[in-house]
Amino acid sequence: AREQKQRKRNLQKYIPDCCNAIWAVLKDMSATEPHGPKRRRLQAETDVLRRVCDGSLSAATLHAKLAEHIDKIDTDMALEYQVQQGIAGAARDDVLIAPQAPLHTYGPELHANVAVLRLLQGA
């Protein structure tokens, strides 16, 4: 848990620098006309540069979205960690789905992450 907080803190530390660098590139790109097939296709597929030109996208918006994404990823990683800890530390109980009868014998075991299945074989 402490490592995850430190990782999140380190990522948040770089948000302003990343936003400033991305914003500078977007500003420069929006100031010039597209002059290549890749740039024309990019501009046709996305409206990011148009949003930079008309002011609906700002450096503050980039900052907020990047911080939101870091929080989302941190939450997802924490949930994944908890699930892994729960699976590794969970109590294992034997569960019988079918009653054991003299007519059946058990075959080979099939192992999975959360269960071990023993297949029934006819006697």
Query: Residue 69's pLDDT is what?
Result: 93
Please report how the helices 59-89 and 15-31 are oriented relative to each other, as an axis angle in degrees rounded to 10. Answer: 140
pTM tops 0.85, yes or no = no
Cα gap 87→114, rounded to integer Å? 7
Residue 113 CB burial class (10 angstroms; 0-12, 13-18, ≥19): exposed
Residue 1 has pLDDT above 80, yes or no: no
What does the DSSP assignment read for 78-94? HHHHHHHHHHHHPPP--
Query: Residue 90's pLDDT is what?
Result: 58
* Percentage of the chain modeled with pLDDT above 70: 84
Residue 94 has pLDDT above 90, yes or no: no
Residue 89 has pLDDT above 60, yes or no: no
Residue 110 has pLDDT above 90, yes or no: no
Query: Residue 61's pLDDT is what?
Result: 92
Residue 99 has pLDDT above 60, yes or no: no
13-70 pLDDT, tens digit each: 999 999 999 999 989 888 888 788 887 887 778 888 888 888 888 999 999 999 999 9
